[in-house]
Structure formats: structure tokens, C-alpha cells
A and B are shown apart, each in its own frame.
Chain A
Amino acid sequence: MTEQATAAARSAPDFTDLVRLEHVQKYFGAVHALRDINLRIGPNEIVGLIGDNGAGKSTLIKTMTGVLKPSSGRIFVRDKELPLSDYSVRMAHDLSIETVYQDKSLGEKQPLWRNFFVGRQIVNRWGFIDVKREKEIANDILLNTIGFRGVGIGVDSTIANLSGGERQGIAIGRAMHYDADLIILDEPTAALGVAEVRKVVDFVRRIKSSGRSCVYIEHNLAHVHEVADRLIVLDRGAIVSDISPRDMSVVELTEYLIDLQHKN
């Protein structure tokens, strides 16, 4: 399926919000990590999530993707409320939500093809993996979804031998392969070189043009400003503003964030 066709198929969703969080609270012991979070992610929307270290960005997305359970509140996916006690990473995968973590998404010593399928292997009824088919599909993702051509990377390459940008490409390509409606990127450009960052930003654009949604956590305001439809600012566990990048330049945004730090 081409990206255009996929986008067309996604053009008429029968829901208003892909993901909606209502009054979500999260405590770690006495620490109030998320304070009354109300957030909605629309279809085909790129939402930038920004905030200082420790503002709760990672906690928020982990809560959204079933890694952490919220202390209270409600989570809706495609307008349907989730049973929070059963919510897990697997369930998020089934709901077509994929997460690409900073550096914890890929098994370093494992070959590419295993990384594409781990957790969702193509197996026969006894649980044995169809290695040939997995490799074929992995090769297809490499060439067509990620666009690695002639760079000496194959399905048997070990992740440890890839550059940071290539790893992000693999992780994002995996998410796109699973036809995720929502791809969550947790600081994908941390520790990347300039050329590699361009590549990741291009991946985010691909997410948008293929009709999917994306939550993009980023330290570098210029990168996120460039691709996001909407910017959510988190501060000390609470959402403090919801900004359209059209209304605020990168410089203004930077000043706003610095002011926010001084205010408190």
C-alpha cells in the first residue's frame, strides 16, 4: 500500500480524538508526577511535547502507552474508555499505538530482523518463529518504509553496529510497519549528529504524510517547532499551555519557556 492510499484510508475516522486523557494523576509515593492531565491527540496530528527535565514528559507518555498505570483519571482511545487495570504495552500495540524510546527500543546485540518482530513474532501454533518470512518482511521495511538503500545494512546486521540515526530510523520504521495510528517518539534526536537529526525530522514528516498521528517529545525547540501542529508545554507535572507553532516563533517560544522557569 502506498502512503497516499494509506492516508486516504485514514481520512475519515469515526472518532474525534485518537487518544484522550482526562484528569490523569500519577504519584510515585509522595511525588506528584502528573497533575490533573487533560490532553487530546487528534487524528493525523503531530503534537510536540516540551518541557524541562523532570517536567513529567516521559511519565506522561509511559502512562499513555501502558508502561505505567495512572494513579487516577481516565484514558480514552478512539473515544472508548480503557480499563486501566488491564492496560499494558501489548494492549497499546493492539490499539495501534507504538512508542519509540530514546535508546531503549532496540536489542543491541540482536539482528535487525529480530528487532522488527520481537514481542509480535510470526509463529506457528507451537510458537516457533517463521524466520524466512520475518526476514523477507524486515528486508521490505528496510528498503521501502525506511529507505535504507546501498548503505550496507541488511536484516542480519546487529543493532550495535548502526549509527544513532539509523537506529531511530529502524525503530520508527518498525512503528510504521505495524500500521500504528499513533507513533510516540521520546527524544529521538538526543545524541544525534546534525545530518542524522534531519533524517529523523524527515521520518516525522512521513508519519504526518501517511495520515498517522505522532506525539513528539523533544528538547530542541527548533526541531519540534518545525514539524508540530500543536505544542504542549509541561511544567512540574502539569500542562501549562497549548500553543500553535504558527502563533509563536522559536525565539518567542524559548523566551516563554525561560519565563516559565523564572516565574516559579
Chain B
Amino acid sequence: MAIQTPSRPGIMSRIEGAPIIAVFLVLLALFMWLSPQVFLQPYQYTTFLSTLPPIILLAVGLTFVIGAGEIDLCFPAILGFSGYIFAVIFKEGQADIVAWLGASDSDWIASPLAGAIIQWSAVPASLLAGVLVGYVNGVLVANIGIPSFIATLGTQFFWYGVASILSGGKSYALRGAEDSSVWQVIVGRPFASSSVDWLQQVPIQALWTGIIVVVMWFVLNRHRFGEHMLFLGDSNAVAAVVGIDVRREKRKLFTLMGFLAAIASIFLTLENKNYFGNQGQGYLLIAIASVLIGGTSIFGGRATVIGTLFGCFIIAIVEPGLVAAGLTGSWVNAVRGLIFLIAIVFYLYVDEPQRRRSLRARFARLTSFGRAGPVE
């Protein structure tokens, strides 16, 4: 029997995400050399710690979605919709309830404690909104059988629209949010009283995001659910015959994405201390690019959380790197796009040659991104 003996895996395949980590380090070194005044100082990195968490959460969720052979275009609308739910309860919840009850200022409901409780209730309400949106996406894809690309494109429009109707197009400035316990716990600055100036700016959401990333790595690589996602991405037909409940697992997948997007919306709204109706619209391509630069297969079946994390770092570092090197902001997206395309070609030709065949087959069959629905 002719068998190709699997050669001992090289260092690049033994460490998850090794090629992309290498690319990141090269870019970082390049920028450090070009602009030491920015990249050898801590301030740029503390800025990343507050701006990256929403992108990372979205990209990690998308790692599961793309790994499962699907796509979710709806998450920017979850940033809008869940963010609205959060902002409106956080900002106006207490006043609205007091007015609705006709309570006076001396009643308990008007007390600061009640105010804090109502502000905290904005968190589960916002998460629930995200979960709901995600679940609806899951039903559309798994049970009704609409290709995920189309289904989530439609729901993106819809939920942005709903957020816009509810908010009346207004934005909500959360002035004074930093005094609330919600802000302190979720996006606070734990070292604000430190004597080191950059340490004062280190935000706590970086820690929360780190914990979530670690948990999601374990879910993808060590949990039943993650394994089911990879098999779904490999083939829905195989997943069905090995006893995976394809529809239920897809509903869970989109629900998870909604949940992570809702967390991102809370981070974003609190960090900006502002909600505006189309918040999140800039995240769609950035998040998808981060996942694919990281090495998750565009055809599904292979996914890497660590690769995604470094994909996010690369996408993020390009902007200050180019600007500090003296180029204008107009260059940023062109360079990001270039890195993205180079990464895709690299994975296609170097990492996994069989992808080329499936790419050609896919174009030959003229199927859309995301599978055409449940099997038999």
C-alpha cells in the first residue's frame, strides 16, 4: 500500500499560529525601527488595550463561525442594537422608572443604590438582546436553510433599522459614566492611582478579554462544541452521519456569536462613554480580515483562536505604524488589504495545497459563501 509517511511536523506547524506570530513580530520590529518614539514607548500599547478588546471578541466569535463554514455579517448591527439597549437602560433607566411609577425623589427607587442596580441590569439586558439576535440568525440559517451570507446580511439591515427606530437616530452621551460601579468593573482603570503615568491608563477590559479568549481557545480545541464546529466546517454531511445535531449546533454557533458581539458592544459603549446609532459599522471587514489573516480556513474545518488574536494585532498595529512612519491615514486600509490578500494566498498555496482544489471546485459550482443549508 502506497502511503506518504507524514514527516515530522516542523516548528511552523507545531506551534499554533506560528507563521502569523512571526509576521506580527517582523512588523512590530519594523515599526520599532522606523518610529522608536512611538513603538518603544508604552503609551501606544496601553491604547491598544482599550481599543482592541471589542475587535478581539468579535474576531474570536467569527473564528468559530468561519471555522464552521458559515459567515456572520450581522454582528455590527448587534453592536448597534445591544449597545442601544445597554445605553438606554444605563442612562435613562432609573429616570424612566421613577417617572413611570410616579415616585418622588425620596422614594427608594430614586436612591443611588437603586440607580446602580438599574445600571447593572443594563448588562444582562444587553447580553440577552445579543443572544436573541444571534439565535434568530441561527434559526434562519439552520432551520429555514437560508445561506448564512444572505440571512445575516438581511438581519444586519433589520437590527440596525430597529436600533435606529428605537433610538430615534439619537446618540446617547454617557457623561459621568466613569463614576458608576458598572464602568469601574467593566472598563475601569485599576491602576488609576499609580505613580507611573502609562500604568494609570491600563484598562481592565483587557483582562476580561484575555480571560474570554483563553476560555474560547479551550472551547474550540478541547470542548465537544468546538469539535462539532470543525466537523461542520469540514462537511455538513459528515457531521450529520457521525451523529452531530447539525441544526442545533448551528443555532448555538450563531447564538454564541451574538453573545460575544453583545459583550463587545458593552465594552465599546462604556469605553467611548457614548452610544451612536451606527456604531460598529467599521468593524465588519476588520474582524473578518483578522480571522482570515490568522489562518482560519475560508472553507471551514480549520480554525485557530491564537492566529485570530495575532491577526487582530496586525490589523491594529498597521494604523499607528504607518502614521508614525509619516504616511497619511489614507494608506492604512490599502496596506491592511494588501496584508490580507498576501495572507490568503500564503495559506492557500503554502499551508494547505488541497484548499486550491476546493477553491476551484467552489467557483466551478458557483456556490455562495456559507453552505446552502441543512443536509437532507
Q: A residues near B, CB below 8 A?
A: 67-68, 88-90, 93, 99, 101, 104-110, 114, 118-121, 123, 126-129, 131, 151-154, 157, 160-163, 165-166, 195-196, 199
Chain B residues whose C-beta falls within 8 Å of the C-beta of A105 in the assembled complex: 238, 241-242
- CB neighbours (8 Å) of A110 from chain B are 230-231, 234, 301
Could you say which residues of chain B place their CB within 8 Å of the CB of A106?
238
B231–chain A nearest beta-carbon distance, Å: 5
For chains A and B in complex, what number of residue pairs have CB atoms within 8 angstroms? Answer: 97
* Cα distance A199–B301 in the bound complex, in angstroms: 29
9 tightest A-B CB contacts, nearest first = A152-B5, A119-B243, A109-B301, A107-B234, A119-B242, A104-B237, A107-B231, A89-B243, A127-B224
Question: Which of B227, B239, B376 has the most chain A CB atoms inside 10 A of its CB?
Answer: B227
Task: Contact check, B6 vs A154: say whether CB atoms are below 8 A apart.
Answer: yes
User: Across the interface, which residues of A come within 8 angstroms of B227, CB to CB?
Assistant: 114, 118, 121, 129
Cβ A101 vs Cβ B1 within 8 A: no
Closest to B2 in A: A163
| Consensus secondary structure, chain A interface | loop
Complex CA gap A126/B240 in Å reads 23
Please name all residues of chain B whose beta carbon is closer than 8 Å to the beta carbon of A157 when the two chains form the complex. 6
The docked-state distance in angstroms from the alpha carbon of A128 to that of B221 is: 9
Known: A67-B376, A123-B224, A129-B222. A109 touches B4 (CB 8 A): no
6 A–B contact pairs at CB < 8 A? A67-B376, A88-B243, A120-B243, A121-B227, A151-B1, A163-B3
- Chain B residues positioned under 8 Å from A114 (CB to CB): 227, 230-231
Residues of chain B touching chain A, judged by Cβ–Cβ distance below 8 Å, are 1-6, 218, 222-225, 227-228, 230-231, 233-235, 237-245, 297, 301-302, 354, 376
Distance from A191 Cβ to chain B, minimum over Cβ atoms (Å): 15
Q: How far is the CA of A63 from the CA of B235 in the complex (A)?
A: 21
Q: Is B242's CB under 8 angstroms from A118's CB?
A: yes
Extra pairs beyond A93-B243, A101-B241, A109-B297 (10, CB < 8 Å): A67-B376, A104-B235, A106-B238, A107-B239, A118-B227, A121-B227, A129-B222, A129-B223, A153-B3, A199-B1
Is there contact, CB below 8 Å, between A128 and B222?
yes
Residue A67 contacts which of B222, B238, B240 (CB distance < 8 angstroms)?
A: B240
- Distance in angstroms from B328 CB to nearest chain A CB is 42
Cβ of B222 and Cβ of A131 under 8 Å apart? yes
Report the Cα distance A129→B228, complex, angstroms. Answer: 12
CB distance from B277 to the nearest CB of A (A): 38
Q: Is the CB of B6 within 8 A of A109?
A: no
For B244, what are the chain A residues with a Cβ–Cβ distance below 8 Å?
Answer: 118-119
The reply to whether B223 and A127 form a contact with Cβ atoms under 8 Å apart is yes
Q: How far is the CA of A62 from the CA of B8 in the complex (A)?
A: 40
The minimal Cβ–Cβ distance linking B361 to chain A, given in whole angstroms, is 13
**Bound complex: CA of A203 vs CA of B71, how far in Å?**
40
Chain A residues whose CB sits within 8 angstroms of the CB of B376 once the complex forms: 67-68
